Amino acid sequence: MRTLYFTIWAGKFIGQQYMSIYLRGFPFIDDFIVGMIMSMGYLITTVAQLVWGNIADHSKTKNRILNIALVGFSAGLLMLILPAHTSITSLIACAFLFYVFIAIPGLMSDSIVVENTAKMNVSFGIVKCFSSAGAGAIALVMFFLSFRITIEPVTGFTMAFFATMLALVPAYFLPPTKGHAYGTRGSKDKKDKNPNASFRAILQNRKLTLLLLYVLLMFIAIQATNVFIGIYYATEEGMNAGLGQYGLFYAICIGLETCLMVLGNRLILSLKIYHVFTLVGFAASFRSLILFLAPNLYVIQLCAIGHMLIFAPLWTRLAPYVNDIVPQEMQATGQAAWYMMAFGLGPMIGAALGGVIAGGFGIRMLFMASSAMLFVLTIVFSFLFRWQYKSAAA
């Protein structure tokens, strides 16, 4: 499970962080078009996660869906880098194929691992931290390679392809994990039709509904920053540090994230869920504010603290929390629901919004707007989650 997370997220990291830089490198694409392409890509991701999550719940084993997703993501990476894209049409087509699969390996691995770590009496957070370790490792490799060769996004996509294909090895050794709704689709016997196994049943869950709204709005603001942070950090539009230094920057961010997931696992698990979400929101606002205010690369490194406090608590608590509040028959779909918000619908709106603001007012103003939005959302949701927690306790 640890090796699986390490390899999957090594590939996923490159796909997420280098896509905007890759697109911006074409002469026929500007900041606004980058935002629009990535927004449409995340719309495809949103639909894909719902479809694949539902298929997994009704599959004989979720493992089979994981393998399909890994092969599909690898194919998407190859289609981005092998053809010589001379027009926006071919580039968009290949980018959309890439987005069909980018989130599915992570979704399937979470669904399988959460279920099996519970049986093994192992903390999910300790296993999940290897996803951060994989992302940090490949970012560090990119930094060291920059001393030998000129790093381009194509270099990163090539490494991501091999990492994703390598993930098929640990995926093969995972324990077979069945879809809990397997055999109920198309059945005429009412005994086989579980009323919990429906999207309507999930959306009637108040805890999940509030969680999905929080994840959606927070990731709109977070992704508006994430889409353009690479362009700002690595290219002439901002600090012009290059992709090698950008790799080091993210290696530091993810290194701190991994350390907190390992060393602070018990502390994070001891926090009430609304405390976790409040911490995440303020950390995200702090990170965007630093990007807006930072006069140089040295100050920008403070963003690593914000990154750590955003993603370490989220990765440690979110997947187990979702499994606790949805019916067993819909666990994969429940995971797909928050993945859809965090890696689909939220980023879709955030990328479009970021493209509009960056195209009209500049990337730094985008960071300021993101920080303000995150601050306000955190205040509002801290009250909502606290009220829901007290109501449930009563």
Q: Which residue has the higher pLDDT, 142 or 336?
A: 142
Instruction: Choose among 249, 26, 251: nearest CA to 133.
Output: 251
Read off the pLDDT of each residue in 35-61 and give the average, rounded to a whole number: 85
Read off the pLDDT of each residue in 288-305 and give the average, rounded to a whole number: 93
Contact 35, 19 (CB under 8 A): no
pLDDT of 177 > 80? The answer is: yes
- At 30 the pLDDT is 86
- Under the banding of pLDDT at 50, 70 and 90, the label for residue 342 is confident
Contact 125, 135 (CB under 8 A): no
Give the start-to-end residue ranges of the domains of the chain: 2-177+199-393
**Residue 33: other Cβ atoms inside 10 A:** 17
Q: How many angstroms separate the CA atoms of 384 and 386, rounded?
A: 5
Q: Residues of the chain with pLDDT > 90: what percent?
A: 38
Contact 76, 98 (CB under 8 A): yes
Contact 9, 135 (CB under 8 A): yes
Contact 229, 114 (CB under 8 A): no
Which residues, in sequence order, are CB contacts of 295 under 8 Å at separation 6+? none
Read off the pLDDT of each residue in 191-201 and give the average, rounded to a whole number: 53
**Residue 312: other Cβ atoms inside 10 A:** 29
Of 121-130, 207-216, 381-390, give the lowest mean pLDDT range. 121-130
- At 183 the pLDDT is 64
- Under the banding of pLDDT at 50, 70 and 90, the label for residue 180 is low
Q: How many angstroms separate the CA atoms of 260 and 69, rounded?
A: 29
pLDDT of 323 > 60? The answer is: yes
Continuous H helices in the chain: 2-24, 31-57, 62-81, 88-101, 104-120, 124-145, 153-166, 168-172, 199-203, 206-234, 242-263, 265-270, 273-293, 297-300, 303-325, 331-340, 346-361, 363-393
pLDDT of 394 > 60? The answer is: yes
SS3 106: helix
CA dist list (Å): 96 to 61, 78, 89, 135:
27, 13, 11, 23
Read off the pLDDT of each residue in 36-43 and give the average, rounded to a whole number: 87
Q: Which CATH number fits domain 2-177+199-393: 3.40.50.360, 1.10.238.10, 1.10.3720.10, 1.20.1250.20?
A: 1.20.1250.20
**Most confident listed range (22-26, 41-45, 287-291):** 287-291
Read off the pLDDT of each residue in 364-368 and give the average, rounded to a whole number: 95
Q: How many angstroms separate the CA atoms of 25 and 363, rounded?
A: 17
Burial 243-280 (b: 16+ CB within 10 A, else e): bbbbbbbbbbbbbbbbbbbeebbeebeebebbbbbbbb
Q: Which residue has the higher pLDDT, 330 or 367?
A: 367
Mean of the per-residue pLDDT values of the chain: 87
